[in-house]
Amino acid sequence: MMLKDKVALVTGAGRGIGQAIALALAKEGANVVLSDLKKEFLTETEGQIKALGLGSCVLTQANVSNGDEVNEVVKIALDTYDRVDILVNVAGITKDGLIAMMSEQDWDDVLAINLKSAFLFTKACSRPMMKQRSGAIVNIASIIGIAGNAGQANYAASKGGLIALTKSTAKELAKRNVRANAIAPGFIKTKMTDKLPPELVEKMKEQIGLRRLGEPQDVANVAVFLATDASAYVTGQTIVVDGGLVI
């Protein structure tokens, strides 16, 4: 129970990687503030936490790209638990297309939900974390943010930006003992990758060293490491979790 009495706020906690991270943090004893756009997804995650008999959780329905809604989520966290020890920015979307065909709206939506959201949550959580003189921020980026990808210019820019935001956050907050790190997953089995054509998934597997797609738990394990004191001397880093796809 490395996170007993700690408070963790997880966005995109309704399913996929966010849900796996929320459950993993709860298993380590954290009280979790679950945030997602979809109420019904949150109820599902809450059900799993309760079924496992884990610590308390609070549900917050919000759009991560809306500043007022983000501030309300952080307020609920502070009103309920009086502190925020861990912030995990997971919520994200894809709206793929070639640059020549990509609408301005698809560019803006992906940048707002994947990147601006992390700025808004980091801003709102940085004050209480600095006051506490402790905190761990974990941003879920992507290998696409490191390597780029044809057809995903908006997504790649958002995730590359998230890695740069993580480094700046780490430099700004280190003197107050607040750490910020990113995880860059490869191909992880979730609803997001379910929409890819099966033949593309098979081709991808051949390029992955470990010859399999990752599980949400593979990402959650690293998130727990970055959220706990096991990584007390690690900040500003991006850990790639891709089974050896990009080496």
Ligand X SMILES: NC(=O)c1ccc[n+]([C@@H]2O[C@H](COP(=O)([O-])OP(=O)(O)OC[C@H]3O[C@@H](n4cnc5c(N)ncnc54)[C@H](O)[C@@H]3O)[C@@H](O)[C@H]2O)c1
Extract the runs of DSSP E, i.e. beta strands, from 125-173. Answer: 135-140
Instruction: Write down the least CB distance from residue 168 to ligand X, Å.
Output: 19
Determine the interface stretch with ligand X among 33-41, 49-57, 167-175, 227-235 (rule: CB under 6 A).
Answer: 33-41
Q: Are 79 and 123 in contact (CB under 8 A)?
A: no
Q: Are 211 and 244 in contact (CB under 8 A)?
A: no
SS3 call for 192: helix
Q: Are 243 and 209 in contact (CB under 8 A)?
A: yes
CA 45, distance to chain mean position in Å, is 15
Residue 17 binds to ligand X (criterion: CB under 6 A): yes
Q: Give the residue, chosen from 6, 15, 116, 179, that forms a contact with ligand X under the rule CB under 6 A.
A: 15
- Computed over its alpha carbons, how large is the radius of gyration of the chain? 17
Closest of 11, 16, 23 to residue 65, by C-alpha:
11
Residue 193 binds to ligand X (criterion: CB under 6 A): yes
Tokens encoding 170: 């780490």
Question: Residue 114 or 228: which CB sits closer to ligand X?
Answer: 114
Give dist(CA 242, CA 186) in Å, integer. Answer: 4
Q: Give the residue, chosen from 3, 6, 10, 18, that forms a contact with ligand X under the rule CB under 6 A.
A: 18
SS3 call for 86: strand
Residue 55-94 contact track with ligand X, rule CB under 6 A, x = bound: --------xxx------------------------xxxx-
Residue type, 70: V
Residue 185 binds to ligand X (criterion: CB under 6 A): yes
Question: Residue 167 or 176: which CB sits closer to ligand X?
Answer: 167
Determine the interface stretch with ligand X among 48-56, 120-128, 167-175, 185-193 (rule: CB under 6 A).
Answer: 185-193
Give dist(CA 49, CA 237) in Å, integer. Answer: 30
Instruction: Write down the least CB distance from residue 144 to ligand X, Å.
Output: 7
* Number of amino acids touching ligand X (CB under 6 A): 28
Q: Which residues are catalytic?
A: 155
Residue 190 binds to ligand X (criterion: CB under 6 A): yes
Give dist(CA 33, CA 10) in Å, integer. Answer: 6
Q: Give the residue, chosen from 33, 188, 220, 245, that forms a contact with ligand X under the rule CB under 6 A.
A: 188
The set of residues, in sequence order, having a beta carbon less than 8 Å from that of 47 and lying 6+ positions away, is none
Instruction: Write down the least CB distance from residue 202 to ligand X, Å.
Output: 15
Site for ligand X in 102-161 (CB under 6 A): 113-114, 140, 142
Instruction: Write down the least CB distance from residue 196 to ligand X, Å.
Output: 9
Contacting residues toward ligand X, per CB under 6 A: 12, 14-18, 36-38, 41, 63-65, 90-93, 113-114, 140, 142, 185, 187-188, 190-193
